[in-house]
């Protein structure tokens, strides 16, 4: 596969960092790919705007930071306004329809999906918003197998919560596939 | 999935390496960006019967591991720049009293509180010269998690072999980034055990009388040999003395035991050196950026090579001189104002052909940063 | 075992001045250890820097002569690592409460089973007579030639407030009580502080016109009284001697063992 560079951005508490770790771990441990994940540290990680970089590739990854992502996810207006210029031409810019108004022209496929609303309607647990977002990302990119995401989740969360996460992942995938 | 394959931060790779090496006592104090090391050990050590203690400050953490090492344990502490400064006096004690221990410094921007959540490689010289008085020290580093693991094991082995503190000088990027780590099977990497004295109870044991091979067998506190340990110049019993002959002899011994074995502890990796016209020299996370550039340029037929240093001190001057002899120019890639640059210039026969590509703003040096300097050296402008 | 069996005769004569109280403390300590019938292999003596800290070198235990103020931090490492050992920490007043103040209060707070003997001679002797946190307002030292304006600590009150579970005080004059208190401190499970008022005729005595060792010792007799005595009621200025505070609290290494057992159960 081609090297894929992703940036996930949003605000502290939305699970952006966790989602980035799950995606990278799924790729590295279950899909036999190389993956590197980094994130912004400091006060921003405790409530302000957050950012995580992920690179996934079948070749060795040396430089771990992302300057021009193939995939940019913005879950708040603030992060969208801040990061939209870095999208790689022709890349995918995924936003949540409730949180982000698309008001910029970019050379990318802009996908504004109703992820948060759907999570609240169908699962009523905002905590799995990030997993729904991951579902949309993998549906749009085919980066890793959904099974790998589920296997990763199984090592991180109590089994009682797995079903809810699976629902959220599938919901995101459906949204992504129809986008 | 194999349980020995993990997707972790560099700080956790260090923890895995330390436990593999037999770490069973850790004392520390929280400081960014090294804190994950102590958090993981707080969970892991009690479960396997080891000891973990969060001390009241950085100084106390360094002192506590020295005390624990004397009872026969493999010990470590972890910190970052400001804490590393505070540990220097006790680090000097460990050098003088020849106590095996490992000190991790996950570097952040300095001086002072500096740039706590951002990367830097500004403590290279402090790790060499932070302790007062003449001394020798071993400083190791790594650029990826597999090597963080390996170098951590190596640090414990060197500490035991030479009865010395060893510094693991990582940086924020390596400490925090997540990537795959494959934990080797037991026995895959040889471990050096504590060398204990064979002297029997009732026979005089000399804790500070080197054997013919230069090594000093130890005796654990609590066992049959009782002796004195001090930070003062001391005789073969460990008793304080200012006898000029003994002072000079001990000073020489402390430096020589490292410097004359330098080749044993100098670890490095090389990439595409054989026909390299331009050699990059780097270490830690900067070496990832340097390797990125070298690989890309090689694809275009440009003859770039890379020496990645894994031992910073004692500095491998001879290696650098020999490997760089044929190069048209040398580019040191680091995130400080030229701390390894100075060593490289001193090492080679043509210091005027040694250049620096650096970054000091708290961001990881990028391929573009390095390319720009290359263009300037090649006379192409930026 | 005879008292002299605990001494490393090879390293004598000691470095202390004539009339110094520290030799008396050494004597009291040895009598305590002898009375307890302790094996030399089970005792680790950890000291810092200063006149008092040199005690460790002269004794045939495992001895660790460390950095100024840091003895308790080193001792914590030794004790945590091997809780079966008995750790005795001889300290000076500057060593324990100025440069080592942080380690002192936190060792007390943890209630780790160490026995701290604070030899309070109210001066930095080894560096030549500068004021310490225990010198006291109005005293004279080389760094307070016009009279000291620094107030002092009450070592006992500080220790109790910080969480020490055994706190006692005596003087170099009261040799019997000295060895009894050290004995009780060693037996106590938890952090023990024994403050010993000790004389430094060379600096504190001379600078403050207190006479020689004999006069200073006589003074210790006059200004102190057993805890709870009638004399104290009559004269509140008198300084109390004896066990001032002793309570039972979980000891740190024991607590660690219990926590470890819990962690291993959850494996």
| CATH (domain of A64) | 3.40.920.10
* Of residues C231, C227, C208, C188, the one with CA closest to residue C87: C188
Pairwise CA distance, residues B226 & B219, whole Å: 8
- Look at B25 and C62 and tell me if their CB atoms are within 8 Å: no
| Residue partners of B186: CB distance under 8 A and separation at least 6 | none
Among the four given CATH numbers 3.40.50.300, 3.90.600.10, 3.40.50.920, 3.30.1280.10, the one describing domain B271-377: 3.40.50.920
Q: Chain B closest CA to A144's CA: distance in Å? A: 15
Q: State whether residue C48 is helix, strand or coil.
A: coil
CA distances from B185 to B5, B40, B243 (A): 11, 21, 50
Give the residue extent of every domain in chain B. 1-265, 271-377
Query: pLDDT tens for residues B241-265?
Result: 999 999 999 999 999 999 999 999 9
B24 C-beta neighbours (distance < 10 Å), count = 19
Pairwise CA distance, residues B55 & B31, whole Å: 12
Pairwise CA distance, residues C237 & C231, whole Å: 10
Among B60, B65, B131, the residue to mutate for chain C (most C Cβ within 10 A): B60
Q: Chain A closest CA to B197's CA: distance in Å? A: 45
Number of domains in chain A: 1
Q: Is B116 on the interface with A (CB under 8 A)?
A: yes
* Of residues C130, C131, C177, C179, the one with CA closest to residue C151: C131
State which fold the B1-265 domain adopts.
Rossmann fold (3.40.50)
What chain B residue is nearest to A25 in terms of C-alpha separation?
B7
Check whether B214 has a pLDDT greater than 90.
no
Query: pLDDT tens for residues B70-86?
Result: 999 999 999 999 999 99
CA angle at residue B11 from B39 to A19, to 5 degrees? 85
pLDDT of residue C37: 94
Work out the average pLDDT over B365-371.
97
Check whether A1 has a pLDDT greater than 80.
no
pLDDT of residue B3: 79
Check whether A55 has a pLDDT greater than 60.
yes
Query: pLDDT tens for residues B174-189?
Result: 999 999 999 999 999 9
pLDDT of residue A45: 52
Give the residue extent of every domain in chain C. 12-265
Determine the length of chain A.
Answer: 179
Burial class of residue A160 in the structure, from the number of CB atoms within 10 Å of its CB (0-12 exposed, 13-18 middle, 19+ buried): exposed
Is B238 within 8 Å of B225 (Cβ atoms)? Answer: no
Pairwise CA distance, residues B27 & B44, whole Å: 13
What chain C residue is nearest to B26 in terms of C-alpha separation?
C77
pLDDT of residue C267: 57
- Tell me A62's DSSP state: -
The helix (run of H) or strand (run of E) holding residue A162 is helix A162-177
3-state helix, strand, coil in chain A (%, to 5): 45, 20, 30
Which B residues in the span 138-157 are in contact with C, Cβ-Cβ below 8 Å? Answer: none
Check whether A47 has a pLDDT greater than 60.
no
**Do the two chains A and B touch, given a threshold of 8 Å on CB pairs and at least 3 pairs?**
yes
| Residue partners of B232: CB distance under 8 A and separation at least 6 | B96, B240, B241, C65
Check whether B104 has a pLDDT greater than 60.
yes
- Look at A29 and B7 and tell me if their CB atoms are within 8 Å: yes
Query: pLDDT tens for residues B13-49?
Result: 999 999 999 999 999 999 999 999 999 999 999 999 9
- Tell me B240's DSSP state: B
Neighbors of chain C with 3 or more C-beta pairs under 8 Å: B
Q: Is A38 on the interface with B (CB under 8 A)?
A: yes
CA angle at residue B198 from B192 to B200, to 5 degrees? 150
Q: Chain B closest CA to C135's CA: distance in Å? A: 26
Report phi then psi at B330, rounded to 5.
Answer: -125, 135
Neighbors of chain A with 3 or more C-beta pairs under 8 Å: B
pLDDT of residue A43: 60
User: Which residues in chain C land under pLDDT 70?
Assistant: 267
CA distances from C148 to B187, C126, C138, C152, C223 (A): 64, 19, 5, 10, 21
Report phi then psi at C180, rounded to 5.
Answer: -65, -40
pLDDT of residue B1: 57
The helix (run of H) or strand (run of E) holding residue B139 is strand B138-140
pLDDT of residue B377: 93
Pairwise CA distance, residues B367 & B292, whole Å: 7
How far does Cα C222 stand from its chain's mean position? 21
Q: Chain A closest CA to B296's CA: distance in Å? A: 11
Residues of B with Cβ-Cβ distance to C263 under 8 angstroms: 43, 46-47
- Determine whether domain C12-265 maps to CATH 3.40.50.970: yes
Work out the average pLDDT over B215-229.
96
Instruction: Enter the pTM of the model.
Output: 0.97
Which residues constitute the domain of residue A74? Answer: 4-177
What ipTM was assigned to the predicted interfaces of this complex?
0.97
Q: Is B142 on the interface with A (CB under 8 A)?
A: no
What chain B residue is nearest to C47 in terms of C-alpha separation?
B230
- Look at A25 and B364 and tell me if their CB atoms are within 8 Å: no
For chains B and C, what is the number of CB pairs under 8 angstroms? Answer: 132
* Of residues B355, B362, B359, the one with CA closest to residue B376: B355
Pairwise CA distance, residues A124 & A134, whole Å: 17
pLDDT of residue A179: 84
Same fold? B1-265, B271-377: yes
- Look at A34 and B173 and tell me if their CB atoms are within 8 Å: no
> Which stretches within chain B are classed as H helix?
10-21, 35-47, 58-69, 81-97, 124-129, 145-162, 172-176, 244-259, 262-265, 284-299, 317-324, 339-347, 367-377
Work out the average pLDDT over B143-172.
98
């Amino acid at each position: 596969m081609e090297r894929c560079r992703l940036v996930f951005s949003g605000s502290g508490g939305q699970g952006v960092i966790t989602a980035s770790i799950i995606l990278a771990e799924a790729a590295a441990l279950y899909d036999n790919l190389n993956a590197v994940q980094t994130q912004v540290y400091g006060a921003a990680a405790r409530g302000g705007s957050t950012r995580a970089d992920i690179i996934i590739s079948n070749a060795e990854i040396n430089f771990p930071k992302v300057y021009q992502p193939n995939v940019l996810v913005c879950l708040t207006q603030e992060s969208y306004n801040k990061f939209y210029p870095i999208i790689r031409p022709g890349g995918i810019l995924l936003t949540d329809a409730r949180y982000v108004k698309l008001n910029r022209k970019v050379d990318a496929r802009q996908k504004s999906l109703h992820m948060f609303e759907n999570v609240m309607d169908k699962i009523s647990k905002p905590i799995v918003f990030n997993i729904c977002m991951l579902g949309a990302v993998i549906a749009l990119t085919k980066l890793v197998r959904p099974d790998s995401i589920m296997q990763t989740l199984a090592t991180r969360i109590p089994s009682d919560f797995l079903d809810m996460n699976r629902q959220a992942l599938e919901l995101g995938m459906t949204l992504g596939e129809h986008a | 999935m194999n349980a020995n394959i993990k997707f972790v931060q560099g700080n956790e790779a260090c923890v895995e390496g330390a436990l593999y090496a037999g770490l069973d006592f850790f004392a520390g104090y929280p400081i960014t960006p090294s804190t994950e090391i102590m958090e993981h050990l707080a969970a892991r050590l009690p479960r396997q019967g080891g000891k973990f203690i969060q001390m009241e400050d950085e100084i106390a953490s360094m002192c506590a591991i020295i005390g624990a090492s004397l009872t026969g344990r493999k010990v470590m502490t972890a910190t970052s720049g400001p804490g590393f400064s505070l540990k220097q006096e006790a680090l000097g004690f460990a050098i003088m009293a020849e106590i095996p221990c490992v000190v991790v410094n996950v570097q952040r921007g300095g001086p002072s509180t500096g740039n706590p959540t951002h990367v830097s490689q500004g403590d290279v010289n402090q790790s060499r010269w932070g302790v007062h008085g003449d001394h020798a020290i071993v400083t190791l580093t790594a650029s990826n998690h597999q090597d963080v693991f390996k170098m951590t094991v190596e640090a414990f082995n060197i500490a035991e072999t030479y009865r010395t503190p060893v510094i693991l000088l990582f940086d924020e990027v390596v400490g925090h980034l997540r990537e795959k780590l494959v934990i080797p099977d037991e026995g895959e990497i040889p471990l050096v055990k504590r060398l204990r004295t064979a002297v029997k109870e009732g026979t005089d044991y000399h804790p500070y009388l080197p054997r013919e091979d230069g090594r000093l067998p130890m005796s654990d506190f609590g066992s049959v040999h009782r002796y004195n340990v001090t930070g003062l110049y001391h005789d073969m019993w460990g008793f304080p003395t200012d006898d000029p002959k003994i002072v000079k002899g001990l000073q020489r011994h402390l430096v020589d035991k490292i410097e004359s074995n330098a080749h044993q502890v100098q670890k490095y990796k090389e990439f595409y050196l054989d026909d390299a016209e331009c050699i990059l020299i780097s270490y830690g996370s900067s070496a990832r950026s340097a390797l990125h550039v070298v690989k890309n340029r090689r694809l275009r037929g440009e003859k770039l090579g890379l020496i990645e240093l894994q031992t910073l001190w004692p500095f491998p001057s001879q290696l650098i001189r020999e490997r760089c002899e044929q190069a048209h120019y040398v580019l040191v890639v680091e995130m400080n104002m030229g701390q390894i640059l100075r060593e490289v210039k001193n090492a080679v026969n043509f210091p005027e052909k040694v250049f620096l590509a650096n970054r000091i703003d708290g961001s990881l040096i990028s391929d573009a940063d390095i390319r720009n300097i290359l263009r300037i050296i090649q006379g192409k402008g930026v | 075992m005879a008292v002299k069996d605990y001494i490393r005769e090879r390293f004598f004569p000691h470095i202390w001045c004539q009339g110094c109280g520290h030799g008396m403390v050494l004597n009291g300590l040895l009598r305590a250890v002898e009375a307890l019938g302790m094996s030399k292999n089970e005792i680790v003596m950890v000291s810092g820097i200063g006149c008092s800290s040199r005690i460790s070198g002269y004794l045939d235990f495992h001895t660790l002569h460390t950095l100024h103020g840091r003895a308790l931090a080193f001792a914590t490492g030794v004790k945590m690592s091997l809780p079966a050992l008995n750790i005795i920490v001889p300290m000076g007043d500057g060593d324990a409460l100025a440069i080592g103040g942080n380690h002192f209060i936190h060792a007390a707070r943890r209630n780790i089973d160490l026995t701290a003997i604070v030899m309070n001679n109210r001066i930095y002797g080894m560096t030549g007579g500068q004021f310490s946190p225990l010198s006291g307002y109005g005293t004279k030292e080389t760094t307070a030639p016009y009279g000291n304006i620094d107030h002092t600590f009450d070592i006992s009150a500080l220790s109790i407030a910080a969480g020490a579970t055994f706190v006692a005080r005596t003087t170099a004059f009261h040799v019997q009580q000295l060895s009894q208190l050290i004995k009780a401190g060693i037996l106590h499970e938890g952090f023990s502080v024994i403050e010993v008022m000790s004389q430094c005729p060379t600096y504190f005595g001379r600078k403050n016109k207190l006479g020689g060792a004999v006069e200073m010792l006589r003074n210790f007799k006059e200004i102190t009284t057993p805890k709870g005595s009638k004399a104290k009621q009559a004269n509140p200025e008198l300084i109390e001697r004896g066990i001032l505070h002793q309570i039972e609290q979980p000891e740190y290494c024991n607590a660690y063992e219990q926590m470890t057992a819990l962690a291993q159960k959850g494996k």
